[in-house]
């Protein structure tokens, strides 16, 4: 499989099909692929799809400002500071 310098590694459709297990293991580890097929007027490799992990990034475990307010363990000043930082 060729390794690209960009964030996506290009892989041909046939190679992706024949090495699907290996490709999926790499996707689980965070690698992303652009699947290409040979076609077009000049018979060049054209991107047809992307393969990325379906897992969503973990959410932050920090309490939101609203949750902290309900707990009454945080001062109003701290809540204002969090809101200014962009926390919900």
Pairing status of strand 8-12 against strand 32-39: parallel
3-state secondary structure of 49: strand
The pLDDT, as a whole number, for residue 7 is 84
Q: Name the residue range of residue 27's domain.
A: 8-51
Q: For the domain that residue 29 is a member of, what is the CATH number?
A: 3.40.1620
| Residue 79 belongs to a domain | no
Q: Considering its fold, how many domains does the chain have in total?
A: 1
- Reported as a pLDDT band with limits 50, 70 and 90, residue 5 is very low
Q: What is the mean pLDDT of residues 12-33?
A: 93
| Residue 62 belongs to a domain | no
- Arithmetic mean of pLDDT over the chain: 78
Question: Beta strands of 13-79 (E only): which ranges?
Answer: 32-39, 44-51
> What pTM was estimated for this model as a whole?
0.53
Q: What is the mean pLDDT of residues 42-62?
A: 77
């Amino acid at each position: 499989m060729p390794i690209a310098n960009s964030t996506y590694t290009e892989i041909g459709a046939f190679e992706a099909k024949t090495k699907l297990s290996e490709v999926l293991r790499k996707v689980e580890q965070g690698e992303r692929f652009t699947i290409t097929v040979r076609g077009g007027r000049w018979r060049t490799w054209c991107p047809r799809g992307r393969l990325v992990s379906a897992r969503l990034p973990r959410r932050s475990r920090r309490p939101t400002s609203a949750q902290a307010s309900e707990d009454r363990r945080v001062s109003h000043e701290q809540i204002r500071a969090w809101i200014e930082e962009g926390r919900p």
